[in-house]
Structure 1
C-alpha cells in the first residue's frame, strides 16, 4: 500500500512538473526561442573560437572574429538568393501571360464539361476570393505581429551568442556546483556529448541541405524548369522543417513548370522527382549523415515535432530535434532519468518476451 501510494505521489509530481514546464515554455516562447537558437549557434561557433584561442587570440577577439565570419557567410548566401530572386522577377510578365492562358483553358474546360458558364465561374470566384480576403485579414495581422516580435528577438541572438561563448567556463562551474564536485567527470562527459550532438546535427543538416539541393536542381534541370538551381536549393533549405519541408518546397517549382512549360505533365514530373528525392532523403541521406549523431527514434521524433510546432510554431519545428537530442543526453547522464532517455533513444534489437498464460488445469 505504501509503495502504491509513493508511486501515485511520484506520478502526480511528474504530471504537475510536465504541465508547469509546458506552460512556462509556451508563455515565455518569445524569450526562450532566441535563447535556444543562441545556444545552438554558440555550440556551432565554439570550434572556431577554440581554434583561435589556441593561437593565443584573446577570447573576446576570437568570439568577434567567429561571429563576423558567420555574418559574412550569411550575407553571401542572402546575396546569392537575392540575385536568383531578381532573375526570377524578370520572368513575371511572361509567367503572368502564361497563367492567364491556363486560366482561360480551365474556364473552357469547366464550361464544356460541367456546363458552368464563365459568368457563374467569375461569380463563384469572387465569392471565394472575398471569403479568403476576410479570413486572411486576421492571419495577416497575426503574421505581422509575430514577424515583428521575431525580428526584435532575433536582433538579440548575436548578443546572446557572444555572452554564451564568453562565459562558457562560468556556466561549466555552475553545473559543477549544481551536481556536486564528486560528479565533475560525469558533467564533463555530458557537456562533451551535448557539444558533439549539436555540432554533428548542425553540420550534418547543412550537408544534407547541400546534397538534396544538388539533387533537386539536377532533377529540375533535366525537366527544363526555369531557375532550377534557385528552386532546388530553396526547397532543400525547407528541410529545416523535418518530414514536410521538402514537400512544401516542391509546390513552387511545380507551379512554375505548370505556368512556364507547355504541358501540365512537367508539373507532375516535378512532383514525382521531389517525391523520389524525399524518399531518398528520409530513408538514406538523413539517417546516414544525421541519424548517427542524433539517436532519437522516429516515433519520439514525430511526437516532439508535433509538440514543438504547437508550442513554438515554425521555430518549434526547427528546434524540436536538436533540443530533444540535448534532453536525451541529459536524461542519460542522470540516474533517475535514464528510463526516459532510453524511451527517446533508438529501439534495441531484442527477442520478444514470452509470457506463459496458465491453463485451467494448471490453476
Structure 2
C-alpha cells in the first residue's frame, strides 16, 4: 500500500468518526434497527428454506417480535413497576433495619466504633420524597409539557425503529452481497475471512448471550418468587440483565436477594437456604447447559473487556456508544488476534539468541 493510500484511509477514518459524532443524536433508531435486522436475519433465512418469500418471512419474524414485546408491556412491565414503587416505599424501613439490626451486628463482629454508620440524613431525605409521590403524575405532566419537542423527537425515533429494522432485514442479504462486490479483488478473500470471524464472535455473543440472560432472568425471578421474596421478580430480572458480564449477575443477584431475605424474613434459615439454592441452580445450569449450548467457546471477549467497552462507549458517545461498544470491541479483538499472528511471524519477534545460533562459527 502506497503512502498516499495510507493517508487516504486515515483521512477517511477521521471523517467517518467525525460524521458519527455529529449524527449521534439521530443514530440510535438506526443502530437499534440494524441490531434487530442482524439478530432476525438467521430466522428469516430459515423461513426462506421453508418456501417463504423474503418479505413474508420478515413479516412473520416482525409479528413474532411484536407479540413478545406486547406481552412484556402488558405483563412484565406493570409487575416490575409495582415492585419498583414498593422498593421505593420500603427504603426508609430498610435503612432503619440496617441501622438498628444489621450494622450493630457488624460492629460487634468486627469491633467498629459506635456511630460508624450514619444513615439518618439519607433516611430523612427519602422520607421527605415519599410525601410527594402522590403528585408524581402532575410532575410528569409538567415535564412533558415543558419539553414537548423532545417528547415528539423521542416518539419519532421510537417509531423509526421497526420501520428501519423491517427494511434492513428484508434487504440484508442484498446489502451484504453488494458490499462484498465493492471489496478490492486482491483482498476479498482475506477481508471476507476477517468479517466471517467478526460475525462468528458477534453472533455467538449477541444471540447466545441474550438468550442466556433471558433464561437466567426467568430462573432467578421464578425461583425467588417461589421462595416468597417480595422483590423476587425485580431482583431476578436485574440479575439476568447483569449476566451480560459473566458472574456479575450471580454476584449482584445473590447479594441483593440475601439482603432482601434478611430484611423480610430475618434470620430464618429456610428462606436464606432457598435463595442460595436458586442462584446455585442458576449457575449450574448456566455453566453446564445454557452457555455451552447457546453461546459456546467462540466469543473471545474477556469479562473485563466487556465492562471496559460498555463504560468507554457510554462515556464517549452516550447511549449510541453503549449500542456500538460490544460490536466494536468484538471487531477489535478479532483484528488484534490477527495483528498478534503477524507479529509472531515478523522479524521483530525473532529471538536474538536464535539468530546468533544460526551464524557460522568464527564470525563476530
Scaled by the length of structure 2, the TM-score of the pair is: 0.61
The answer to whether the 8 Å contact 1:212/1:236 transfers is yes
Post-superposition Cα deviations, 1:76-119, rounded to whole Å, max 9, x if no partner, equal 2343423533664796799478447537738x979x9349999x
Query: Equivalents in 2 of 1:123, 1:55: separation in Å?
Result: 60
Q: 1:96 to 1:170 in 2, by over 3 A?
A: closer
Q: 1:296 to 1:94 in 2, by over 3 A?
A: closer
Query: Equivalents in 1 of 2:269, 2:34: separation in Å?
Result: 46
1:32 corresponds to which residue?
Answer: 27
Q: Does 1:63 align with 2:58?
A: yes
State the number of aligned residues.
Answer: 325
1:69, distance to aligned residue in structure 2 (A): 0.7
Comparing 39-48 with 194-203, which one deviates more in the overlay?
A: 194-203
Query: Equivalents in 1 of 2:339, 2:89: separation in Å?
Result: 55
**Residue from 306, 310, 313 that aligns with 1:305:** 310
Q: Does 1:41 align with 2:36?
A: yes
**Residue from 230, 234, 239 that aligns with 1:235:** 239
Aligned residue runs from structure 1 range 83-102, under 5 A: 84-85=79-80, 88=83, 95=90, 98-99=93-94, 101-102=96-97
2:325 corresponds to which residue?
Answer: 320
1:232, distance to aligned residue in structure 2 (A): 1.5
Query: Equivalents in 2 of 1:124, 1:80: separation in Å?
Result: 32
Query: Equivalents in 1 of 2:328, 2:261: separation in Å?
Result: 38
1:56, distance to aligned residue in structure 2 (A): 3.8
1:206 corresponds to which residue?
Answer: 210
1:162 corresponds to which residue?
Answer: 166
1:113 corresponds to which residue?
Answer: 114
The answer to whether the 8 Å contact 1:258/1:266 transfers is no
Q: Does 1:52 align with 2:47?
A: yes
**Residue from 248, 254, 260 that aligns with 1:256:** 260
Query: Equivalents in 2 of 1:281, 1:19: separation in Å?
Result: 45
> What is the aligned-residue RMSD (CA, Å)?
5.6
Q: Which runs of 5+ in 1 are unaligned?
A: 1-5, 131-140, 332-339
Q: Which runs of 5+ in 2 are unaligned?
A: 108-112, 130-142, 357-362
The answer to whether the 8 Å contact 2:235/2:256 transfers is yes
Scaled by the length of structure 1, the TM-score of the pair is: 0.61
2:338 corresponds to which residue?
Answer: 342
Match of 1:155, SS? helix
